[in-house]
Every structure is written in structure tokens, then in C-alpha cells.
Structure 1
Amino acid sequence: MGNYSVWWLVLISLVACCGIMALVWLWAHKIRNAGVVDIFWSYNFPVIGIILLLLAPGFETRKWLICGMTIVAGLRLGTHLSARIISHLDEEEGRYRQLRKEWAPSAERKFFFFFQLQGISNVLLAAPFFVITMNTEPRLSAFEYAGFILWLISVSGEALADRQLAAFKKDPDKKGNVCDTGLWHYSRHPNYFFQWMMWMSYFVFALASPYGCVAVISPAVILYLLLKVTGIPATEEQSLCSKGAAFKRYQEKVSVFVPWFRKG
């Protein structure tokens, strides 16, 4: 059991995540592909999970449970992104190409600070994990069991959505079409929906711990990013450019986010 204060744990995690992002920036600079930041943004959460598992002073069973959840989810998403991004490593994704144009001629310097902000965001979003792993209460509560069940549903749903989309893209007969099968029949972004649900599960889990309400920051920030910033807006803009009228018809039929509501 560790005896570190929460502030020391935050500092150690911040140094680790920002250090990893500095190394990733060097790689991205060499290959001229900033998209690799997405992979390591996901992998940084397991790094934080391992730090807390080893150093946080909380109840061991609780630490193993929440850190295990964090590590599994981060490794799954990071590995999924790795398969997608590394398959076209010589071709930078559209949103990063656009940033490179907008930030010229000092794009690489600005990307360095962008990568560092990603590392900082890892630690900010890990607020539930810090709260939970400081809890020394030697029993699990109903909130923690409920959080785990919600997490299991969320990670399974996100993985299923990712597999369905990957299978659709691999089918040569579907080239140029919009994926509207499986979970994608009910939501234009089921993967994002279940990702947000996963962050909600961490919040529910944290409610059993002192200052657990602080953990609401994570699902709130993730929801804002998905709906307004880097998630849905960028994805839909790219889909409209590549699929045009077919994607517009899909937008008219299917809910943007909530998978159980289908239009028409």
C-alpha cells in the first residue's frame, strides 16, 4: 500500500503522461503524422492506472477493480486506434492536416504544445481514479457495483460498435457507402455514446468515495468534446466530404448520438 498524497499522485501522473507525449511528439515530427497522438492519449490512462495501483493508499480490492477497469479500457481503445492509424501511417488524418495548414509555418512547435495538452487532459479526466484510489473504506458499496456493471456494458458496446464499423469498411462491396448496420442502424456514433457511458460509469463508481462528486468533471468534459469539439463535428464533416448525399440521407434517418432513438 502506498502512502502518497493525492497531489503527489497527480504530479507523478502528470510528469509521466507529459513525458510520454514529448516522446510521441518526436516520433510524430519524424514521420509527419500527428495522428499518433490519439493512440497514446488512450494508452496514458493505463499508465495512470498502474501508478495508482502501485502508489495510492486506498483499499486494495477497490484499487485493483478500478485500475483494472482503466487499464483494460485504455488498452482496448489504444490498440483499436493503433490498428487503424498505423495501417496508413504515411497518410495523416484530415483534421491534423488541417491543423498543420492553419498553424504553418510554426506547426511543429504548436503540435508540441498540443501534445502536452493531451497529456494534461489525461490527468484531468482521471479525476475519478484519483478520488477512488484514495478511499480506504474496506468494503465495496452499491455505487461501486453499479459503476462496474455500467462500465462492462459500455466497454462491450463500444468494442462491438468498433468491430461492426471495421468489418463494414473491410467489405469491398460497401466502398463509398455509409455504415448503417448493427448498432450503426440506431445511432450515427454508437462508439462515442458508449465511450461517454464508460466515463459515466467511473463517476457512478466514484460516488461511493469522499469527494466523489468531483468526478462528474470527466463525463461532462467528454460529452462536451464529443458533441462540440473533436468528436462528432469533425467526424461528420469528414463523412459529408467523402460520402456526400449518402451521408446526408443517413443523418436524416438516424439519431446523432443516442442509439435507441431512430428517426422516421
Structure 2
Amino acid sequence: MNGFDWGGFALVTITSVIAIVILMVVTAAFGFRRARHNVVDVSWGVGFVLVALVAAAFGDGDEWRRWLLAGLVAVWGLRLAIHMERRSRGHGEDPRYEKLLDDAGGNRTLTAIRKIYITQGIALWFVSLPVQVAAVTRGPFGVLTVLGVIVWTVGVVFESVGDAQMSAFKADPANRGTIMDRGLWGWTRHPNYFGDACVWWGIFLVAAQTWPGVLTILSPLAMTYFLVFATGARLLEQHMAERPGYRDYQHRTSYFVPLPPRG
């Protein structure tokens, strides 16, 4: 394909895989030592930053595109990692992972390695393919690049503002036992997950400015699937479903895409 270096891509993706494997091994060791596998949520954002830096450093495509994507991923990934570390500090295991391990049965250690660390490592590599491919392509700075940065910005705003609003809500003792339905949470039940999806659709659009990047569309689709149906919103909804007031909140508030609240 014109403008695409298969040898350069092989170098970038193999180096990315090595970085991801090392990160997940260290994360798993830490998680087993602390008996808390939600440490992988911190490594999730860090892993994307590592891949973006590897792609920028080893790729031979347009320098401006490599470092633009590295910057976008770094802002998103480091903010997410810091937020997840603060949110989990002083708490036990995430109920989503506890349920996953309970439902799986069998050897919990092997299940955790397979269904948490290996699965997230593979997902991290696959979702980051637009960054890897863009690092070895050449082409113009065009409309899709600008649109991608705009969509990425919308995503970061939704995710960071939504997280900040939820943190402030939980910090107020007066809100104990109630459901957060203010701010962005009045428009979508998952503004942080919606923001995550926008971030990766934006990154895909930047990569899609050149033809090979278009072929990585399955990566943002996979991320959206994870966020909506797999380990994100669906599991959280199952956990929250029996809380007082949550079913009413579900009735009046959009599930994922922000929409005006229903009366």
C-alpha cells in the first residue's frame, strides 16, 4: 500500500507487544501481591501511553502525526491512570472483577491471568492499532485530522468532567445512598465511558487521514464494544441495578449517548 512501511510496522507492533507484556507481568505480580486485580485499571491507561511512545520513537512515518498521536494518547492515558489510582486507593477489589472471578469458577489465579491480564493486554494492543499504523504512514494534514482532534477533545472533556462530578458527589456525605443524576450524569448514565469511546474514535480519525489507517476501524469499534457491552457499562449497570432509585434513573436518563433527560 502506498505510503505504508510493512517492515516499520512490524518493528513498531513487535516492540509494542513486548512493552505490553512487560507491563502486564509487572501489573499481575502487583495485583496478586495485594490481592486486588483492579490495579490493571491503572495500567490500562499507562499501557496506551507506552505504545504511543514506542510508535512515535520507532515509527518512520510523518513525524508530526506520530507525536500528535503520542501527545493525545499521553494526555488521555495519564489522566485516566491517575484518576483510577486515586479512586481505588484505600478500597478493596472492584465488584466487576470479583463477579467475573466468581462466575468463572475453577482456579481463581489462572482465571485472573487469563480473563483479566492477558485479555486486557490483547485488547490494549488491538485498540492501539490506529496509533501503530499511523506511525509508519505518510500523508497530508487534512480534514479528518482536524475532526479527529475535535472528537478527541469532546471525549476528554466528557470523561474528565464526568469523573470530577462523580468524585465531588461521592465526597459529600449528604449524597450517601442517593444516585448521581446531575451535570453530565443527567444526560447519560456513563459520561466517562462515552468520553472514552470518543477519544478512540478521534484517534482513529487522525490515523484514517491516510489510507492504511482506515483499515483500523475495528479498533475503535472494539473499544466501544468493551465500554458498552463487555467490561464497562453493562457490568456496572448489573452492579447498580438493585440500588434504591437506580431503576428510575435508568428510565429517565440515556444509557450511553448523551440525550436530554426524560421527564
Aligned equivalent of 1:135, options 134, 137, 140:
137
Q: Is the 8 A contact 1:158 1:192 kept in 2?
A: yes
For 1:229, the equivalent position in structure 2 comes to 230
The alignment's TM-score, normalised by the length of structure 2, stands at 0.93
Matching residue's letter, 1:46 = V
SS at 2:216 equivalent: helix
Q: Is the 8 A contact 2:129 2:219 kept in 1?
A: yes
- Which deviates further from its counterpart, 219-228 or 160-169? 219-228
- Within 2, Cα distance between the matches of 1:207 and 1:105? 43
Matching residue's letter, 2:125 = V
- Within 1, Cα distance between the matches of 2:146 and 2:105? 50
How far the C-alpha of 1:199 sits from its partner, in A, is 1.3
How far the C-alpha of 1:121 sits from its partner, in A, is 1.2
Q: 1:76 to 1:112 in 2, by over 3 A?
A: same
Q: Is the 8 A contact 1:189 1:257 kept in 2?
A: yes
For 1:57, the equivalent position in structure 2 comes to 60
For 2:119, the equivalent position in structure 1 comes to 117
Matching residue's letter, 2:204 = F
- Which deviates further from its counterpart, 2-11 or 48-57? 2-11
How far the C-alpha of 1:69 sits from its partner, in A, is 0.4
How far the C-alpha of 1:4 sits from its partner, in A, is 5.7
For 1:210, the equivalent position in structure 2 comes to 211
How far the C-alpha of 1:111 sits from its partner, in A, is 1.3
For 2:162, the equivalent position in structure 1 comes to 161
- Within 2, Cα distance between the matches of 1:220 and 1:73? 18
- Within 2, Cα distance between the matches of 1:113 and 1:232? 21
How far the C-alpha of 1:226 sits from its partner, in A, is 2.0
- CA offsets per residue over residues 41-97 of structure 1, 9 Å max, x none? 111000001111111001111111111101111111111111111231xx1111222
- Within 1, Cα distance between the matches of 2:153 and 2:216? 19
Runs of 4+ in structure 1 off by over 6 angstroms are none
For 2:179, the equivalent position in structure 1 comes to 178
Matching residue's letter, 1:50 = L
How far the C-alpha of 1:103 sits from its partner, in A, is 4.2
Matching residue's letter, 2:82 = T
Q: Is the 8 A contact 2:101 2:111 kept in 1?
A: no
How far the C-alpha of 1:169 sits from its partner, in A, is 0.6
Q: Is the 8 A contact 1:127 1:215 kept in 2?
A: yes
Matching residue's letter, 2:129 = A
Matching residue's letter, 1:255 = S
In the alignment of these two chains, the number of paired residues is: 258
Matching residue's letter, 1:125 = V
Q: Is the 8 A contact 2:151 2:199 kept in 1?
A: yes
Matching residue's letter, 1:191 = N
Q: Is the 8 A contact 2:96 2:236 kept in 1?
A: no
For 2:189, the equivalent position in structure 1 comes to 188
How far the C-alpha of 1:210 sits from its partner, in A, is 2.5
1:14 aligns to 2:17 (yes or no): yes
SS at 1:215 equivalent: coil
- Within 2, Cα distance between the matches of 1:48 and 1:222? 16
Q: Is the 8 A contact 2:36 2:93 kept in 1?
A: yes
How far the C-alpha of 1:239 sits from its partner, in A, is 1.3
User: What RMSD over aligned residues (CA atoms) do the two structures have, in Å?
Assistant: 1.7
How far the C-alpha of 1:128 sits from its partner, in A, is 0.8
Q: 1:70 to 1:4 in 2, by over 3 A?
A: farther
- Within 1, Cα distance between the matches of 2:187 and 2:93? 30
% identity of equivalent residues: 28
- Which deviates further from its counterpart, 185-194 or 91-100? 91-100
- Within 2, Cα distance between the matches of 1:122 and 1:30? 23
Q: Which structure 1 residue ranges, 5 or more long, are not aligned?
A: none
For 1:238, the equivalent position in structure 2 comes to 239
1:82 aligns to 2:85 (yes or no): yes
Q: Which structure 2 residue ranges, 5 or more long, are not aligned?
A: none
